[in-house]
Amino acid sequence: LITAQQAQIKQGWSLLATLHCVLLPDKVVQKGSKTFKRPQIEMMARRWQHHCLEVREAAQALLLAELGRIGPKGRKALVDSWAQYLPQFSNAEINAPSQPPATQQGQPINQEQQAVTHEEEEEEEEEGVEELCVRKPSSAAEMKRKQTTAVVLLGVIGAEFGQDVGETSRKRSEDQRRKSSVVEGFGIGNNNLARLTSLALMHLLLTPPSARMPAHTPLRRAAIDLIGRGFTVWELYIDVSRVLLALLELCCDADKLVPSMRYGLPLTPAADSCRTARHALTLIATARPAAFITTLAREVARYNTLQQNAQTLNVNLSNVVLHRAKTEILRCVELLIDKMHTEISDLLIEVMDIILHCVDPGHLKMKGLSDVFPAICRFNQVSHCPTTRRIAVGAKNGQVALYELRSSKCQLITA
């Protein structure tokens, strides 16, 4: 009975969301009314990652519906209005966050202009009226608000309406039909906005926590979410390794946050960031499985080199992200094996490198690989011999990787 009631409630909310996001504007116009108040795009963008999940979901649904309704011309007008407020960052500035980046107008923005504090977030909640057009900001606080809104709004537009970049598997007719929907600045020919937006999002993700930019703010969470949603657009302009490691670091304490994440309890800021980062990792892994696997395999190789020289370099390996995020990495790998079996079969050696890094070596002494990580044994190219403690993995290029578990070494043999 309770399950049926919950299903009815869920269906009711779904119908209500459909009414407001899809049906209501057309129904009002059909009735002859010309005074229908459209959703305020700037207000919805500010609440893209609101701390209240219901408000967040409503804001996202309304914003995406309105961006779809206004069409390519309306989205281009929005981009033209807000692009002037998008902060400019270079890779050098992201690598050295202490240096103040410059704005589009060539004016430096300080730490106060880079962050939205909790007090200002509450102030935004009290705003009842939003300006109808974008005008020049009259104060530093307003300039900061414009910049953060521009990052989120252009991030949403790029992520949701710039996805044709690099897509070659679709039919040509569909490509031609959707070509006009790609916003100028996010396409292949003109990618300036995609580059600037991706660098701004990466800056928000990688900026170290501080009093001005705490670790778990709605703005940082929005950047995490939009990096995942639009990864195929941002991929060419961001450091994929740094982004993945930063997202994994946010997921390291997922086990401690399980009660608030799984049982419907109110989310703490840390749990909310963890939840958003896990979703972003899932989107990135499924959108670009090859990039995800090869990047992690490369980081595992670096970790192994660091492990061999840990005493010389005086490094505490237990603090390294790849060590702390093993559970999350295995979750992503298992998801890819389930959802994208064919793509993963081309990268089995890299996948095995990652798995052997994440699983406990002691477990493989007592159990078979099929018990420790059953998902990988779905591939016929993988074999484990408990007696000799060896794992063999066949690749499509004819090579066989032979893993010696006793000595933690791998040997490539040409079949």
The 10s digit of each residue's pLDDT in 247-257 is 999 998 877 77
104-155 pLDDT per residue, tens: 333 433 444 444 344 444 444 434 333 334 456 667 888 989 999 999 999 9
Better-predicted residue by pLDDT, 125 or 26: 26
Query: Considering the chain, what is the average pLDDT of its residues?
Result: 82
Residue 340 Cα distances to 4, 333, 346, angstroms: 33, 10, 11
Give the DSSP per-residue string, 165-227.
Answer: TT--SS-HHHHHHHHTTSPTTSSSS--HHHHHHHHHHHHHHHSPP-SSS-TT-HHHHHHHHHH
Better-predicted residue by pLDDT, 2 or 31: 31
79-100 pLDDT per residue, tens: 999 999 998 877 666 665 443 3
Give the span between the Cα atoms of 328 and 325, in whole angstroms.
5
pLDDT of the residue at 63: 94
pTM (global) more than 0.85? no
371-383 pLDDT per residue, tens: 999 999 999 999 9
pLDDT band at residue 101 under the 50/70/90 scheme: very low
Site of tokens 């010389």:
312
If one counts every other C-beta atom within 10 angstroms of the C-beta of residue 373, the result is 21
**Are the C-beta atoms of residues 217 and 51 closer than 8 Å to each other?**
no
Domain map (residue ranges) of the chain:
1-34, 38-127+135-287, 290-415
CA-derived radius of gyration, the chain: 24
Give the span between the Cα atoms of 219 and 120, in whole angstroms.
12
Site of tokens 């395999």:
297
pLDDT of the residue at 123: 43
% the chain with pLDDT above 90: 52
